[in-house]
Structure formats: structure tokens, C-alpha cells
Structure 1
């Protein structure tokens, strides 16, 4: 857990009130996409599914261009309120996900629930 969002202590504090009321907290972690203006788009384009100029020309709703790279983006089929989101490359091992279940992260808490 990142310290700038409270780290493990912040998460523990956020769990206290729901726990007091008999409610368990579910942590929703979305690792397959980010915002189009996320710093990784420029700093680490390898974290994303790459396309080419032909992909952009043939499917402009499914790709966008940033810093000379063509990046695939997810589309929300059920709502136009959500913008396109750059899709992460599933084979890329970004260090930011080192806390994931195999490293003893949140999914290893009792029942996977917080």
C-alpha cells in the first residue's frame, strides 16, 4: 500500500468504523487501466498495450496517440459518462503492483475482505 494514500495504517483506520458497525470493507483494485493523463503514459508507455498508426486510423475510438505512441484504450459499453481509459499491458510487471496477493497484499487478508 502506498504511504501517500495512508499505507497499511491508513487502511486499518478506514476499516475501524465500518467494523464497529459489523460491516466489512471491500477493496476494489483496478489494475487493467489508468487515466489518459496518468504520468505513466509519458514516463512508462511500456506499461500499456501498444498499437500502431493503422490501429488508430481503423479504430479511433479504441486507440489514442500520446507522446508519439499509439495506446489502446478500454471503452465503457454501458455509459458514455466514462472516458476512454488506457489499457495496461497484462504481461508487464510494473513495480507498483509488488504488493499484490503473491507478495502478501490486501488479497491475503482474511476472506480477501478488508
Structure 2
């Protein structure tokens, strides 16, 4: 029996020029990595997907939306006439139905209410 996968199994060098910075102009031009018959990896196009599927295969669609979740700001003016306090970073994790959020806050010192 082989051991389970670890995070190290997915650690490899990927040159920055191979990382997509923008989506293709036409969605059908999206790239697809076929890892169906290891160790051979085949570079394909997303348009090839229907020909790769077999009866009984399960296709899962992710229709989630990305929200602009990282916010930056400054704490209120400090003492001795400082114009701005320290920097604050807020990462919104989840928007609740009552228009409140669950978020992670990072700052040099804990911000005070307001």
C-alpha cells in the first residue's frame, strides 16, 4: 500500500511566465492539463474536454463568485498630531445575510472601535 499524498507532493518550480495573468480573450481558448495517464502530462485546450469524458464520469462545476475581499486602510489619527494611524488589512471571509461580515483583521496594534 502506498503512503498518502502530502503537500510536498505538489511543490514544484513553475516559471512566472507560465502563470496566466489574464483570462484568454475567448473562453474556449482556456488551457487544460490532462493528467489522466500518469506519468505523462498532456497540454490540451479546454475545448478538448468533451472528447476526454467517458460514460459514468462525474463533472463538478464551480459557479462561485469572487468578491473583492481584501481591504486596506489606516487607523484614526494618533497622538501628537499624527495625520494617520498605522495600516490595517481586513480580509473578508464571508458576507452574512444581515450585511455584516466575518473577517480577519491584521494591524500592528489592535484597532479600536470606530
**TM-score after normalising by structure 1:** 0.24
More helix by share: 1
More strand by share: 2
Higher CA-based Rg: 2
**TM-score after normalising by structure 2:** 0.24
